[in-house]
Amino acid sequence: MQGWRATMEDADAAYPDLDCSTSFFGVYDGHGGKVVSKFCAKYLHQQVLKHEAYVAGDFGTSLKKAFLRMDEMMCGQRGWRELAILGDKMDKFSGMIEGLIWSPKGGETKDRLDNWPLEEGPHSDFHGPNAGSTACVAIIRNNQLVVANAGDSRCVISKNGQAYNMSKDHKPDLEVEKERILNAGGFIQYGRVNGSLNLARAIGDAEFKQNKFMPAEKQIVTAYPDVTTVELCDDDEFLVLACDGIWDCMSSQQLVDFVREHLKTESKLSVICERVFDRCLAPSAGGEGCDNMTMILVQFKKPVDLKVHAGEQSSLSDQPSENETDNILVDT
């Protein structure tokens, strides 16, 4: 929901079948423009897939690498071209040249993704976008849930009606964030990084990542995510990924209570998401409830009862396993 903002700067990605056994969900809350959030929605899950750590089952490492890779990919000539197209700012002549180099609308093949480094090259005047985006993503395989977060979007899981935060909001006043900001040469004023940005981690925001003596993880603002891994169990009911437009208006527990109440009478998850937006939306411009709002709701099906009665044996092979991604219902 755009809310009272002049433009919609959020993006999301929902792939219940990212590959044969894995689901991927991501919420990206843009600031300063929509280009970085749209870039992440298009490329971040692809970079997770192609990393060797993912193939080895190390989702945490592949997620961390993918988050940092977003900043690398957006620098240079190819990154500039892609951001220009996503931001609808490509002029006609440049667009014609771009069409000869690679087609952003035709879908990226694996070879094209692998060839990105050959095409990115340095750009004399562009070192990355000053717009930025949070990134809060969840990977589910079998009963394993892995959440990676950079920024103040949030992931919450409902366990028998109790809300559990799977991520931490990265605000500048947190001690670990404040220490990094100051060590990298930044400052905090009015609760904002260098007096302007009200979150301490984000993808993009190149102006805060210019300390040549610090690695990416230690810049004033970093894209490096916190990663949390848990094993799902029968008590886990649903998962919510949402931007701060939701959390400014509702606590994690309030949202869990709201969703549980509406699940009693509504089976369509997208309708419940719409009701959350309506609950949070301010009646007029000004104050809380005016931000863009994005939410992904993932409901876990209960395992199928494999106890069969006489005469039902023939249907047993048709029953899905509790470990299959078919046990996920999702909507945004």
pLDDT in tens, 298-309: 999 876 544 443
Q: 100 pLDDT band (50/70/90 cuts)?
A: very low
CB atoms within 10 A of CB 79: 24
Q: Does pLDDT of 98 surpass 60? A: no
CB 28 within 8 A of CB 41: yes
- Global pTM reads 0.84
Q: Does pLDDT of 230 surpass 60? A: yes
Domain boundaries, the chain: 14-26+130-331
Q: 179 pLDDT band (50/70/90 cuts)?
A: very high
Q: In the chain, helix, strand, coil percent, each to 5?
A: 35, 20, 40
Span 14-26+130-331: which CATH code? Answer: 3.60.40.10
| Planar angle of CA 275, 278, 281, nearest 5 degrees | 150
**pLDDT (0 to 100) of residue 108:** 42
Distances (CA, A) of 165 to 156, 182, 188, 193, 331: 5, 27, 26, 24, 20
pLDDT in tens, 35-74: 999 999 999 999 999 889 998 999 999 999 999 999 999 9
**pLDDT (0 to 100) of residue 114:** 52
**pLDDT (0 to 100) of residue 310:** 36
Q: Which residue, chain included where needed, has tokens 């931007």?
A: 243
pLDDT in tens, 83-95: 988 886 543 333 3
**pLDDT (0 to 100) of residue 20:** 81
